[in-house]
Amino acid sequence: MSILSVREISKNYGVIHALKKVSFDVPPGSVFGILGPNGSGKTTLLGIVMDVLRPSSGSYLWNDKPADNAIRKNIGTLLETPNFYHYLSGADNLAIAAAIKGKGKENIDKVLEAVNLLQRKNSKFSTYSLGMKQRLAIASTLLGDPEILVFDEPTNGLDPAGIAEIRELIKQLSFQGKTIIMASHILDEVEKVCTHVAIIQKGVLKTSGTVSQILSHGSTANVQIVEVTSDNMSLLSSTIKEMVGVESVIEKDGVIQLTTAETVLSGDINRYCFSKGIVLNSLQIKRKTLESTFLEITGTQSDR
């Protein structure tokens, strides 16, 4: 069973194709990241599956069924910053949100505790930091204990401390068994919290799958990046090029960055250099990141 199945969804605004036959499945219990540059169609897609927008073509299912009010009531949604009242406390704002939803009033303290705001429940919203305000927004999505959460850019506009707060909160919610679908353009955050990823560029789905599957994508799937230094960098640079398994050598930011086959071990590099009279000061194998994979898939140019 899939929590969400998207089938060839397209959305056109006149001659502008915001989405072009996008299809993917969201597994139960996953943290599913919809990743793409600003303007790629992420928000449009979330608006469609939450019935805020109508697709030009295609369809989607929640829990293998067409969406209805009963299903939507079991989805906590944060598509834009809620209009909280600045002069009211966090608890009073959630009481209003619960009244609008028609559920969740009885677990206001519980959701405040979940987002680490229980001690500030009676503080005015205007006194909250940006991270606290965003955590209160997420608390409002938890009213009624939904099994599915949908977030659009949950860390947008936050400082590093606020981003870290939201990241840990998403991890905690996932640990509780909730399925989380989140759109983001921040690759590092997606890599740290998501189990699955769909990459969209200019309305086109480029790839989707588990994070490990995405990281094994493309031309560099069987290579690794190794950074080395020595007292004689010029000799190291000219010598290491001749080593079997080394595909490229770039000197960057005071280190020599090697692209090598994954079969090349750190010990192999160290022994080769020593045999050539070079003593390495440092050697570090850098794992492939979602950012490097994203650039392989989408290219380096902005969509705007």
SS3 109: helix
Q: What is the pLDDT of residue 149?
A: 96
Q: pLDDT in tens for each of the 304 residues of the chain?
A: 899 999 999 999 999 999 999 999 999 999 999 998 888 899 999 999 999 999 999 999 999 999 888 888 889 999 877 789 999 999 999 999 999 888 899 999 999 999 999 999 999 999 999 889 999 999 999 999 999 999 998 888 788 888 888 889 899 999 999 999 999 887 777 878 899 999 999 999 998 988 877 776 654 556 778 899 999 999 999 999 999 989 888 887 789 988 888 788 889 999 999 999 999 999 988 766 666 677 667 665 444 4
* pTM for the structure as a whole: 0.75
Q: Are strands 148-152 and 179-184 parallel, antiparallel or unpaired?
A: parallel
SS3 19: strand
Other CB atoms within 10 Å distance of the CB of residue 44: 21
For each of the domains in the chain, give its residue range(s) and CATH number, in order of start.
Answer: 4-215 (3.40.50.300), 223-287 (3.30.70.100)
- Position 229, amino acid: T
- What gap in Å lies between CA 125 and CA 88, rounded to an integer? 6
Reading the block at residue 168, the tokens are: 């840990």
**CA-angle at 167, arms to 164 and 168, nearest 5°:** 90
Q: What is the pLDDT of residue 235?
A: 94
Q: What is the pLDDT of residue 160?
A: 83
Residue whose token pair is 């994070």: 211
